Amino acid sequence: MKMCYLIGYPLEHSLSPLMHNTAFRLLGLEYRYEARPIRPGELEEFVGRELRSPDTAGANVTMPYKETVMELLDVLDVEASEIGAVNTVVNRDGSLVGYNTDGRAALRALRESGVPLSGARVVVLGAGGAARAVVYHLCREASEITVLNRTPRRAVRLAEDASGWGGCPVRWAHLTPETLSRHLADADLLVNATPVGMYPNVSETPVPRELLREDMAVFDVVYNPPRTRLLRDAEEAGAKTVSGVLMFVYQGAEAFRLWTGVEPPVEAMMEVVLEALGCGGT
């Protein structure tokens, strides 16, 4: 039996064990996925003892360790290194390799939802790990990206790092009602990469409804609930919407492929996640 772990602290109820164990069972793979809350100060020991064990295939890494785990690994994939965060670790014969599957998953979600990306003017809300992963991929497709963040320092760092990623210009501004309104006025795609609207704060939204238009697409990285208030408002405005559930399942599918070398059963993974989120049958 090969083990895969989810490491973070505190670990809220996560859908990853259900999603991965369903996939392992369906394909008859001798793997098991377990969530392991690791207290600050215990990360190094866990990585050395459990992740390096020959019985371990790898792990997913979540808050607050996506950055700190990097220095405990042997090899970093270029993408993870440039984004500056690891969400997936693979144990390759005792050598620990760090990947970031979030950005690729976001890109796949947007593409499969039919959102035109080539030449798009994009506004990204937030400048944390999810925003960095999304901008890393979108800057190769879009014509311009504006990052709006509550804390300017983080947005500045993202824009500076992005200038070395070989894509379109990435600008930044302080997130205020005025900058939001001004930059959304000619945006083709809005990405919410903040937790605003996430369960249990489901009545919150990062964008007033009147700023949403039918000729824009709206992607919310929040996946619980699958239809956030932002997405419901956008739908009402006639905009194309993309749920963070797609990104969640695709980042897991990519990790599954890295651990097992086997094509993940994406449809079954999506179904079990939607069912657990109370959207069975959709």
Residue numbers of the site for ligand NAP (CB under 6 A)? Answer: 102, 126-131, 149-151, 154, 193-196, 198, 221-223, 244, 247-248, 251
Burial of 202 (0-12, 13-18, 19+ CB in 10 A): middle
Q: Report the candidate in 95, 50, 87, 48 with the shortest Cα–Cα distance to residue 70.
A: 87
What is the number of the residue whose Cβ is closest to ligand NAP? 128
Q: State the nearest-atom distance from the C-beta of 195 to ligand NAP, in Å.
A: 3
Of 76 and 198, CB closest to ligand NAP: 198
Q: Can you tell me the distance from the alpha carbon of 191 to that of 245, in angstroms, rounded to the nearest whole number?
A: 14
Of 154 and 257, CB closest to ligand NAP: 154
Q: Which residues are catalytic?
A: 66
Buried b (16+ CB within 10 A) or exposed e, 45-54: ebbeebbeee
Q: Can you tell me the distance from the alpha carbon of 58 to that of 63, in angstroms, rounded to the nearest whole number?
A: 17
Of 158 and 168, CB closest to ligand NAP: 158
Q: State the nearest-atom distance from the C-beta of 65 to ligand NAP, in Å.
A: 11
Of 121 and 150, CB closest to ligand NAP: 150
Q: Which two tokens stand for residue 256?
A: 């599954």
Q: Can you tell me the distance from the alpha carbon of 213 to that of 44, in angstroms, rounded to the nearest whole number?
A: 48
Q: State the nearest-atom distance from the C-beta of 30 to ligand NAP, in Å.
A: 26
User: Which amino acid belongs to residue 263?
Assistant: E
Q: State the nearest-atom distance from the C-beta of 66 to ligand NAP, in Å.
A: 7
